[in-house]
Structure 1
Amino acid sequence: MASQTTVKTLLILGASGDLTGRLLLPGLARLVAMGRAGDLKVVGAGSDPWTPEQWQNRVHTAFTEASVSSDASGKNALKDLAKTTTYHQLDVTADGPLASLLAELEGPVAVYFALPPHVSQLACAMLTAAQMPAGTRLVMEKPFGSSEESARDLNRILISLVPEDHIHRVDHFLGKATVLNILGLRFANNFLEPVWNREHIEKVEIIFDEDLALEGRARYYDNAGALRDMIQSHLLQIMALMAMEAPASIGERDLRDAVSAVLRASSIKAPYAKSTRRARYTAGSIAGRKVPDYAKEDGVDPAKNTETLAEVQIEIDNWRWKGVPFILRSGKAIGDKRKEGVVTFRRVPHLPTGFSGVDSPNQLRIGFGPDTLQLDVDVNGPGNIFTLDRTTLNAELNASELLPYGEVLDGVLTGDPLLSVRGDTAEDCWRIVEPVLKAWFRGTVPLEEYDAGTSGPENWPSSAAPQD
């Protein structure tokens, strides 16, 4: 079971980096302003020789927006935290400095590794269990390892330091509201669950197409690509939620057991030229903004053949889903951004003779950020009552008051690993995609091209586009 002891100190490693300033601190600010961080102290550490003033300015800047929309108590909480925060320059990969800093901090401590994955692994390797203050929690950013073997090695290191339920492998893409919206939809509606299987569903698509291009992230992205960056981590987790069996509870053990069971049954079947596709964007425009050719972006090595659009077909070999393709797709610089899961139902076995007008299967769409729900229904149309028209029922699902990283930190501070990825699951995600990565590296699947601002290569069959 997860520990219920509230964290007293949040230690951010990589405090001078982009992730901390752009996402982590603003997420923390909303949490603090809502009175959900308790009596928390925040300590920053990094390799940059920052002065105390530089660090406090960063914290103050990140807290400004949350302060504007807060009440008096929220403003005071933000102001107090900003005044007491400190920064330490240290090399986290050296033997000694990180352990010495941990010994000075009030526990329990949450150590947030806002660092490149290989640096995080080196830092953890410099620590021992004896150097961990009681109740320490370790927070790891994706990607968790670079292969199944490296993920397994990192798991061994982390487990030697703290228990599994004190390790938070964060997936900020999956907020608590999104997770619970999917589970509520699936398991609280008796009309839906009986048809949620291979007998009634033709295919499931999970799509994350964004209109953003590289946006100065070449250093990370050119070594990752769409398959590692999005599908290996985020989209496989969403797939598992949509495909899992009903858990006994929404407690972290029951839920994560159910997720793990789906991923253990999942694989991408060879030949990979049939079950996967990859492409890279060339110059184009999005909403009037010119986008340069990916291969010519600063920091990109064209010889790496990094894909900016990836699509894979997952097979889930179990009783419920055998034979139903789960198609996972993610791309950058796409003209129409889409973040949704699309469930396409099988056609009715027989439409009574005399009806006309609809020849496409029904679809259920679950939108992610904002969370929405759309269900296609065929009804008798106006005018000629023998003609069926497609109508769509729309609903907005509940959203969280917290920013995505605020939800992550909320779980970390309260000791709830519900939203974190369990160690065995992290390894399984790599097992699923690693054969594809090797095939792509060998060139057995061609790297195609598409103009920025389009939906992808012209010869790709289109995924289920929203109805007008």
Structure 2
Amino acid sequence: MSPSTYRSNPLRDERDRRLPRIAGSCGMVMFGVTGDLARKKLMPAIYDLANRGLLPPGFSLVGFARRDWADQDFGEVVHEAVKQHARTPFREPVWRQLAEGFRFVPGSFDDDDAFDRLADTVRELDEVRGTGGNHAFYLSIPPGAFPTVVKQLSRSGLADAGTGPDGEHWRRVVIEKPFGHDLKSARQLNEIVESVFPQDSVFRIDHYLGKETVQNLLALRFANQLYEPIWNNNYVDHVQITMAEDIGIGGRAGYYDGIGAARDVIQNHLLQLLALTAMEEPVSFDARDLRAEKQKVLSAVRLPPDLDKHTARGQYAAGWQGNEQVIGYLDEDGIPQDSTTETFAAIRLDIDTRRWAGVPFYLRTGKRLGRRVTEIAVVFKRAPHLPFDNTATEELGHNAIVIRVQPDEGVTIRFGSKVPGTSMEVRDVNMDFGYGHSFTESSPEAYERLILDVLLGDPPLFPRHEEVELSWRILDPITAHWARRGQPEPYTSGRWGPDSAHAMLERDGRTWRRP
């Protein structure tokens, strides 16, 4: 492809060129290195980036936790995580070079001396590893600890970028969801974080936005004349966005109870998917223009007038998950018997724009459901006239475009086709596109893309505080309504949620897709 052709394609930009994007001199400080996220996702992603040649030779990783570890102990923890969870093959030369930049600082979040030692460690890395004063602080910690750590970064001078002989340095902070637990707490958290770090230096991680299929939604819509003309209320009947898990809460009782499915998934993942599905074409694909269109959608979202009829919540009970008998939520370790935390949530939302007026968006998420799947299903209206006998089309349903986010990433198109034979019989069929079948290169893990974007200062895939606050403004009335309703409805593990979720769609003359 010639340079002129490259520039003429509006969906291509520098971060997607075949020439790899390589981070400049930098390091990362990781808080919460003993947690599952760090062990299963973050540390392996850093190794995979190094293995792909996308990190600078002097890249350094500093762990901070309340552990009596030396640098070597931390290195062994990272080594084990990489061996178990890395996507790319283990290569000893890559590992040795990466491990030379490992450091560990023991301490608690309220320990001033520990953060002073951390500041000394960062300065030492600038000198011996050439990290150039550029450091990202990854807060893989409980949300309640965010303010304490951010204030410590400010007090110790770690948040101050400063300048050097090679120009201005950068300091960035990475925050994992949830961003608060309601609108009020989200605003308070944003005020604290942005009083220390400039807006452009705050990266709020939503790992779903790093998935290839989510990004492919933009290409599907805006790179193809085939879909965009019918992506509106003239043709679309409704949209279903589902994130289903077949597992329970595992050992996350301390985090999950009191949070629940709506705050854990709908407020961030599913509302972001809704915004990307419903937004208008952006002027460009840089961060400011993408955010502007997503914010327009979120600000136009309207709740249904009757929250009893158009929301549903449930709590999984004992049942069978495949061939395994599993316990209910209230029997999980650490869950109080009177817990009203929902493990299933479904809501209907409407979008008051010319494109989407009259098209309901149904969002659902839950644990211990029939199978693990995340998908966006755009379901179209029936044809206004069918020139066939009734018997020829009795099984014919709605056309649909289904974007499969995980697993089996790809796109399915459902349409009617004639059944082979002498009679005219039309039946629904599926046409599938799968990433694994169409591309030889494997997709990078979402955290690889997002961590590299942080180190590059590339913000399109990260929501700003305006999006976070709009999302809480949508969800808060629903969770407040549920809080007045008492216990969630139980549903049997291995099934697709409580009866009220199915009744919610049946009232509208629709049914949930069976993924």
TM-score above 0.5, yes or no: yes
Matched residue type, 1:216: G
CA contact (8 A) 1:12 1:44 kept: yes
- Residue matched to 1:58: 77
Task: Identify the range of structure 1 (131-140 vs 94-103) with the bigger mean alpha-carbon deviation.
Answer: 94-103
- The 3-state SS of whatever aligns with 2:369 is coil
2:452 to 410, 423, 429: 410
Instruction: Determine the structure 2 residue equivalent to 1:196.
Output: 231
- 8 Å contact 1:177–1:400 — kept in the other structure? no
How far residue 458 of structure 1 moved from its aligned partner, in angstroms, is 4.1
The answer for unaligned runs of 5 or more in structure 2 is: 1-14, 16-21, 127-132, 162-169, 503-510
8 Å Cα contact 1:31-1:402 kept in structure 2? no
1:90 alignment partner in structure 2 = 107
2:177 matches 1:128: no
Q: Structure 1 length normalisation: TM-score? A: 0.92
Maintained 8 Å contact 2:48/2:87: no
| 2:280 partner letter | E
CA deviation after TM superposition for structure 1 residue 400, in Å = 5.6
Task: Give the letter for the 1:162 counterpart.
Answer: F
1:23 to 36, 41, 52: 41
Aligned pairs (5 A) from 1:210-359: 210-354=245-389, 356-357=392-393, 358-359=395-396
**Cα deviation code 1:377-408 (max 9, x no counterpart):** 21222114422122211111368632222222
Larger deviation: 93-102 or 403-412? Answer: 93-102
Q: How does 1:370-381 map to 2 (within 5 A)?
A: 370-381=408-419
Decide whether the 8 Å contact of 1:94 with 1:123 is kept in 2: no
Answer yes or no: is the 8 Å Cα contact 1:309–1:332 preserved in 2: yes
Paired residue secondary structure (1:302): coil
Change (3 A) 1:165 1:400: farther
Alpha-carbon separation, structure 1, partners of 2:63 and 2:153 = 18
Residues 1:184 and 2:184 are matched in the alignment: no
2:60 counterpart of 1:33: no
Aligned letter for 2:450? V
**Correspondence for 2:512:** 463
Residue 311 of structure 2 contacts residue 501 of structure 2 at CA under 8 Å; is this kept in 1?
A: no
CA distance in 2 between counterparts of 1:178 and 1:110 reads 27
Letter in 2 for 1:360: G
On the 8 A contact 1:155/1:423 being kept in 2, the answer is yes
2:290 counterpart SS class:
helix
Cα deviation for residue 7 of structure 1 reads 5.5
CA distance in 1, matches of 2:86, 2:248: 31
- Structure 1 residues 414 and 124, CA, compared in 2 at 3 Å: closer, same or farther? same
Structure 1 residues 221-250: Cα deviation after superposition (integer angstroms, max 9, x where no partner) = 112111011111101101111111011222
The answer as to whether partners of 2:154 and 2:196 remain within 8 angstroms in 1 is yes
What letter corresponds to residue 368 of structure 1 in structure 2? V
Match of residue 403 from structure 2? 366
Question: What are the Cα deviations for residues 155-203 of structure 1, in whole angstroms up to 9, with x where unaligned?
Answer: 1222222221211100112225223210011111112111111111111
Summarize the Cα distance change of 1:149–1:460 in structure 2 as closer, same or farther, 3 Å threshold: closer
- Compute the displacement of 1:292 (Å): 0.9
Quick check: 2:396–2:427 contact (8 Å CA) kept in 1? no
In 2, Cα distance between equivalents of 1:108 and 1:427: 29
* Contact 1:166 1:417 (C-alpha < 8 Å) held by counterparts: no
Offset, 1:103: 5.5
String of CA shifts for 1:74-129, please: whole Å, max 9, x gaps.
Answer: 53222222233111112223456436523541321100001000101222134438
Structure 2 distance, partners of 1:65, 1:47, is: 23
1:144 is aligned to 2:179:
yes
The residue type equivalent to 2:150 in the other structure is C
Q: Which structure 1 residue ranges, 5 or more long, are not aligned?
A: none
Distance 1:460 1:14, change over 3 A: closer
Matching residue's letter, 2:380: F
Q: In the TM superposition, what is the alpha-carbon distance from 1:303 to its structure 2 partner?
A: 2.1
In structure 2, give the amino acid aligned to 1:465.
R
C-alpha distance 103-432 of structure 1, shift in aligned 2 (>3 A): farther
Query: Take 2:94 and 2:23, find their aligned partners in 1: how far apart are those partners?
Result: 21
SS at match of 2:295: helix
Q: In the superposition, relative to structure 1, how do residues 276 and 7 fare at CA in structure 2: closer, same or farther (>3 Å)?
A: farther
Q: Are residues 5 and 423 of structure 1, via their aligned partners in 2, closer, same or farther at CA, if it must alter by over 3 Å?
A: farther
CA contact (8 A) 2:62 2:104 kept: yes
- The 1-side partners of 2:455 and 2:405 are apart by 25
> Displacement, 1:65?
5.0
Give the one of 390, 397, 406 matched to 2:428. Answer: 390
Aligned to 1:109: 135
Q: After the TM superposition, which of the residue ranges 174-183 and 340-349 deviates more from structure 2?
A: 174-183
Counterpart position of 2:477: 435
1:424 aligns with 2:459: no
Counterpart CA distance in 2 for 1:411 and 1:68 is 18
The one-letter amino acid of 1:366's match is I
Check conservation: 1:37, 1:413, Cα contact below 8 A.
no
Instruction: Quote the Cα distance in structure 2 between the aligned partners of 1:176 and 1:254.
Output: 20
C-alpha root-mean-square deviation of aligned residues, in Å?
2.3
Cα displacement (A) at 1:67: 7.6
Give % identity.
34
Aligned length: 461
1:147–1:239: structure 2 CA closer, same or farther, 3 Å change rule? Answer: same
Report the AA paired with residue 172 of structure 1.
H
Local SS of the residue matching 1:418: coil
The SS at the match of 1:173 is helix
1:336-366 per-position Cα deviation (integer Å, ceiling 9, x unaligned)? 2321111110111111254722442111111
Q: Is the 8 A contact 1:285 1:453 kept in 2?
A: yes
Alignment counterpart, residue 32 of structure 2, candidates 1, 4, 14: 14
SS of 1:118's partner is helix
Secondary structure of 2:64's match?
Answer: strand
Q: Deviations over 1:48-91 (max 9, x none)?
A: 333333311101112225789548xx532222222331111122
Q: Following the alignment from structure 1 to structure 2, what is the Cα–Cα distance between the partners of residues 459 and 110?
A: 45
Query: Secondary structure, in 3 states, of the residue corresponding to 2:285?
Result: coil
2:434 counterpart letter in structure 1: E
1:249 maps to a residue whose letter is: S
Which of 304-313 and 346-355 deviates more? 346-355
The alpha carbon displacement at 1:290 in A equals: 2.2
Per-residue deviation at 1:268? 2.3
Query: Equivalent residue of 1:22, what SS?
Result: helix
In the TM superposition, what is the alpha-carbon distance from 1:260 to its structure 2 partner? 1.4
